[in-house]
Amino acid sequence: MTDTPDLRDDGTRLAPNIVHFCRVLRTAGLPIGPGQVLAALEAVATVGIGTRRDFYWTLHAALITRHDQREVFDQAFHMFWRDPDL
């Protein structure tokens, strides 16, 4: 049992969109494995979205393992998560 909120029950498409974003990163050449996808989902559920900046750094912390991956992540994030009100 966990105290982490379940993103599947939050009434939004956030969890499926995070999974899709991870697939986009994988397609772009980043080595995103299932463990990182789960870590990203858990991190967002725990931290929450808050601001766009908080959301960016939460996903970054869960998905990026090397400095040279940051540029691809940054470009993909800004293209995928275009809603400025996030």
The CA–CA distances, whole Å, from 43 to 13, 29, 53, 68, 78 equal 16, 22, 14, 22, 19
3-class state of residue 59 by DSSP: helix
Structure tokens at 5: 């909120």
Q: Is the pTM of this model over 0.85?
A: no
Residue 24 has pLDDT above 90, yes or no: yes
Instruction: Report the pLDDT averaged over residues 50-64.
Output: 95
Instruction: Pick the closest to residue 60 from 70, 48, 49, 47 (CA basis).
Output: 70
**What is the predicted pLDDT for the residue at 7?**
54
**Average pLDDT of 39-68?**
95
Average pLDDT of span 24-46 = 97
Residue 29 CB contacts under 8 Å (≥ 6 apart), including other chains: 72
Q: Which residues contact 56 (CB under 8 A, 6 or more apart)?
A: 77, 81
1: confidence class by pLDDT, cuts 50, 70, 90: very low
Q: What is the mean pLDDT of the chain?
A: 88
